[in-house]
Amino acid sequence: LETLLTIAELNDFQANPTRAAFGTCLEAEQEGGRGVIAKMMVQNGTLRVGDVIVCGAAYGRVKAMYDTLRPRVRVDEAGPSTPVNLVGLDVPPEAGEAFYVLDDIAQAREIAEQRQHRTRTEGLSGFTPKVSFEEFQRRLQEGRLGQPDERVTLNLIIRADVRGSIEAIQKELQKLEHPEVQVRVLQASVGGVTTGDVTLASASEAIIVGFNVIPDEAARTLSEERGVEIRRYDIIYKVTDDIKAMLEGKLKPEERVVELGRAIVKQVFQISRVGTVAGCYVVQGAIERGCRIRVNRDGRTIGDYPLDTLRRVRDDVKEVTRGLECGIKLSSFDDIKQDDVLEAYKIEEVARTL
């Protein structure tokens, strides 16, 4: 602190309390009955009740200001380096946005609407994802460099109690990176879930995430009519856990070959109206109904076919284990011969994770 004071004294840093105020938004939230409450730090000039301000995409006339240490105490003005809780903005601004005092409300509205339009356009038109060097090389090798992103997208609309919650959620969502799936936040704002959010979610197949907020009755009714999912949370890690699970659900399952068993063809039978049936002896593992069979002859694989019928004596069975004899008929293959080795296997789908 002493160092800062010394530097300020040497550089003769001074504020001008007579000029129009400007500063920074520290936090903002929507309160029922009071509207938007924004905590502002005045950096220069003097902010007064009645001033017209613009802060990011928010604007309005200062209706009231309160001491940040004594929230019930009103103040009429705030000079340089003074934090205040301000009432009067139309929407909650983002933390870190600069605010300025303007001459009239029309000018402030025009600036705010231009910024809102730009933000909305950027959100709905997509974004340019960051591509790692490894991803760049992969696309180059596959001849997909310059082509549109083919990842499966999970669209989200975020509503939260304060801007800080939104920023924390978005920061965690940025960690959920994968070459096949991605999260796209269409809109993130402070306040309860509205019918406008539901309409946008319905049109874009998005999920609405509500953090410490609830939908109003009209939004709840409309979401039920349109089949829009509204998920409510009060802990950030639960948000990211759920979103991660949803992304993993969109990943194509991994196929894994599971070897089941081996059988040797001891005798071949030609049965009318049935075809070729192989009398086999199971030497390893088990042969299961619904599996696939690799046919090996003279040390090499000559074909791969679905198992059509599996019998033990005269009965259809689900499984024949090692040391037992069975009858096997393959689908679309009758050229089976004595001493052929049949390898049974199945393909399992394994869920993948991020």
Residue 142 in domain: no
Handedness of CA 299, 304, 305, 306 (dihedral sign): positive
pLDDT greater at residue 292 or residue 71 = 292
**Quick check: is 124 in a domain?**
no
What percentage of the chain exceeds 70 in pLDDT? 89
3 state DSSP class of 73: coil
Residues 190 and 233 in one domain: yes
238 and 195 share one domain: yes
pTM: 0.57
Pairing of β 207-211 and β 300-312: unpaired
Q: What share of the chain is helix, strand, coil (3-state, %, to 5)?
A: 25, 45, 30
Contacts of 353 (CB under 8 A, 6+ apart): 248, 251
Residue 72 lies in a domain: yes
**Residue percentage of the chain with pLDDT more than 90:** 58
Q: What is the mean pLDDT of the chain?
A: 87
Instruction: Single out the residue in 209, 224, 250 at which a domain terminates.
Output: 250
Per the domain annotation, does 134 fall within a domain? no
What is the distance between the alpha carbons of residues 263 and 296, in angstroms, rounded to a whole number?
A: 11
Q: Is there a single domain that holds both residue 34 and residue 94?
A: yes
Categorize the per-residue pLDDT at 146 as very low, low, confident or very high, splitting at 50, 70 and 90.
very low
Residue 127: what pLDDT? 42
- Exposure of 55 by Cβ count < 10 A (0-12 exposed, 13-18 middle, 19+ buried)? buried
Rounded CA separation 330/293 (Å): 8
| Cα–Cα nearest to 136, from 147, 126, 127, 125 | 147
Of 241, 190, 155, 242, the closest CA to residue 35 belongs to: 190
Q: Of residues 272 and 125, which shows the higher confidence score?
A: 272
Q: Is residue 139 part of a domain?
A: no
The larger pLDDT score, comparing residue 354 to residue 270, is at 270
Whether 163 and 203 share a structural domain: yes
Same domain, 14 and 105: yes
Same domain (yes/no): 239, 163: yes
d(CA 223, CA 63): 35
Same structural domain, 89 and 52: yes
Residues 66 and 44 in one domain: yes
Q: Is 216 a domain residue? A: yes
Tell me: do 202 and 294 sit in the same domain: no
Contact of 278 with 342, CB cutoff 8 Å: yes
Confidence bin at 131 (pLDDT 50/70/90): very low
Rounded distance between C-alpha atoms, residue 30 and residue 35, angstroms: 5
| pLDDT over threshold 70, residue 141 | no
Q: Is residue 73 part of a domain?
A: yes
Weakest mean pLDDT among 108-112, 135-139, 209-213, 330-334: 135-139
Enumerate helices (H) and strands (E) in the chain, giving the number of each.
7, 21
Name residue 333's amino acid.
Answer: F
**Which residue, 294, 287, 342, 340, is CA-closest to 316?**
287
Do residues 6 and 114 share a domain? yes
Indicate if 232 and 260 belong to the same structural domain. no
Token pair for 128? 């340019």
Domain closes at, from 222, 250, 278 = 250
Q: Are 264 and 243 in the same domain?
A: no
Question: Which residue, of 230, 250, 270, is where some domain finishes?
Answer: 250
The dihedral region occupied by 281, where left means phi > 0, alpha psi between -120 and 50, and beta the remainder, is beta
Q: What tokens were used for 54?
A: 């613009």
Indicate which CATH number applies to the domain containing 12: 2.40.30.10
Q: What is the pLDDT of residue 33?
A: 76
pLDDT digits (tens, 9 = 90+) for 12-66: 667 899 999 999 998 888 887 788 999 999 999 999 999 999 998 899 999 999 9
Please count the structural domains in the chain.
Answer: 3
CATH number of domain containing 231: 3.40.50.10050
State the residue range of the domain holding 33.
2-119
Is 219 part of any domain?
Answer: yes
Residue 145 pLDDT exceeds 70: no
Q: Who's near 122: CB < 8 A, 6+ residues apart? A: none
Given a cut of 70, whether residue 213 has pLDDT beyond it is: yes
Distance CA 313, CA 302 (A): 27
Determine which of 8-12, 153-157, 233-237 has the lowest per-residue pLDDT on average: 8-12
Return the pLDDT at 137: 53
